[in-house]
């Protein structure tokens, strides 16, 4: 992650709801870093052009499409004038683009964003904040650090907890832990918080309770040597970035169980995690840790990719959508996105 934040892209999924909590957190980061902010909305309403010419004339459908765009940008302008953003340079843009995850990645690439911010939402009244399909697609494919806002607690000297794996399990790139801790230190510095390190490890022998195999008895000295090796590796990593021993959480057990417990005990504001997009079958990251953990965490999550991470996203048609006034035998209904090229963010 960059050593500073210069431009923050805020992905607004619902223009009907003023995301005050999200905007307050973005404002705190922008004011501390001097970054500019863009509020971006990928319009997900049915595109009037898709049913042209059955629904009306070319000009009528074109005006309808433009009206929806203007209405969306007007709502974003209302967000931009929220008092929390006073003193921050804010721009707004709405665009006909889909799917939303691809649209956000494209916009982040175009604007050279240093951070993408996205709010998780409850699916029903009173429900916990859970991740939607767009969230998961961005976690997998967005090359820019992604901040998922899940907690309503403001950033008041927050604990920034970094989940590391110095043993590079599951083919994780060797420099990812360093990038994670760099991002954590940056956020802790900007928000006057503290950086913590977390690592959960399994015992020497993990027994499959469903397998018809008798448990293996491991001598205590072997288990102790294993723990010492783990602790030594974490300490070396933490020493490089100056995290004191009192802020190092090294626990035996499943990450999916222990991480949530530590975040609750320390009242963590942000968990920093790494993500590695692999094959569709392997899914991603640090094994399947994220699948098990992210929805359960009640705090915010910053997802950071390894250096050189590349993702293929279809490039939209340049300029305005161009449609020919076609007859019913031959018409072009949807040219908002095309596979004419591939975008590889740097």
Residue stretches of the chain with pLDDT short of 50: 123-128, 279-287, 317-346
* Token pair 């997009």 in the structure block, residue: 277
Residue 163: closest CA among 200, 202, 193? 200
- Tell which residue, 267, 270, 231, has the closest CA to residue 248: 231
| Whole-structure pTM value | 0.81
State pLDDT tens for residues 151-166. 999 999 999 999 998 8
Q: Where are the domains of the chain?
A: 1-149+312-346, 150-311
* DSSP assignment of 92-131: EEEEE-SSHHHHHHHHHHHHT-SEEEEE-EESSTTPPEE-
Q: Which helix (H) or strand (E) holds 44?
A: none
CATH number of 150-311: 3.40.50.12370
For position 232, what pLDDT does the model report?
94
Return the structure tokens found at 154.
Answer: 């403001």
Q: For residues 237 and 170, what is the distance between their CA atoms, to the nearest angstrom?
A: 19
* 245's tokens: 């021993």
Rounded alpha-carbon distances, angstroms, from residue 41 to 12, 68, 74, 268, 306 = 5, 12, 11, 29, 27
What is the C-alpha to C-alpha distance for residues 282 and 264, in angstroms, rounded to an integer? 30
Count CB atoms within 10 A of the CB of residue 207: 11
**Fold match, 1-149+312-346 / 150-311:** yes
Residue 162 parent element (H or E): strand 159-163
**Helix, strand, coil content of the chain in percent (nearest 5):** 35, 25, 40
Please give the structure tokens belonging to residue 83: 């008092």
**3-state SS class at 217:** coil
Contacts of 238 (CB under 8 A, 6+ apart): 197, 245, 247, 248
The CATH H-level superfamily of 1-149+312-346 is HUPs (3.40.50.620)
For 262, other C-beta atoms within 10 Å of its C-beta total 18
pLDDT recorded at residue 333? 27
Nearest-angstrom CA–CA distance, 29 and 67:
33
Beta-carbon contacts of 282 under 8 Å, excluding residues fewer than 6 positions away, are none
């Amino acid at each position: 992650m960059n050593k500073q934040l210069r431009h923050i892209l805020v992905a607004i999924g619902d223009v009907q709801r003023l995301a005050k909590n999200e905007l307050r957190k973005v404002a705190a980061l922008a004011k501390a870093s001097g970054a500019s902010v863009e509020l971006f909305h990928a319009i997900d309403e049915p595109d009037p052009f898709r049913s042209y010419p059955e629904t009306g004339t070319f000009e009528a459908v074109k005006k309808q499409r433009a009206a929806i765009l203007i209405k969306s940008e007007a709502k974003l302008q209302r967000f931009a004038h929220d008092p929390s953003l006073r003193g921050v340079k804010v721009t707004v843009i709405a665009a006909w683009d889909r799917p939303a995850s691809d649209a956000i990645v494209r916009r982040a690439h175009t604007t050279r964003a240093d951070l993408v911010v996205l709010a998780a939402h409850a699916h029903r009244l009173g429900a916990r904040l859970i991740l939607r399909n767009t969230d998961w697609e961005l976690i997998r494919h967005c090359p820019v650090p992604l901040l998922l806002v899940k907690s309503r607690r403001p950033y008041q000297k927050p604990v920034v907890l970094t989940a590391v794996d110095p043993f590079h399990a599951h083919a994780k790139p060797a420099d990812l832990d360093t990038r994670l801790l760099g991002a954590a230190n940056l956020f802790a510095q900007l928000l006057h918080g503290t950086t913590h390190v977390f690592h959960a490890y399994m015992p020497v022998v993990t027994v499959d309770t469903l397998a018809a195999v008798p448990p293996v008895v491991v001598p205590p000295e072997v288990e102790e040597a294993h723990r010492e090796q783990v602790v030594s590796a974490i300490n070396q990593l933490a020493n490089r970035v100056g995290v004191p021993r009192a802020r190092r959480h090294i626990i035996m057990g499943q990450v999916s169980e222990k991480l949530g417990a530590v975040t609750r005990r320390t009242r963590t504001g942000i968990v920093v995690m790494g993500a590695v997009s692999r094959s569709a079958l392997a899914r991603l990251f640090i094994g399947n840790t994220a699948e098990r953990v992210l929805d359960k965490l009640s705090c915010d999550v910053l997802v950071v990719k390894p250096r050189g991470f590349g993702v293929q996203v279809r490039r939209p048609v340049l300029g305005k959508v161009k449609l020919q006034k076609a007859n019913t035998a031959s018409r072009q209904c949807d040219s908002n996105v095309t596979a004419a090229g591939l975008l590889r963010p740097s």
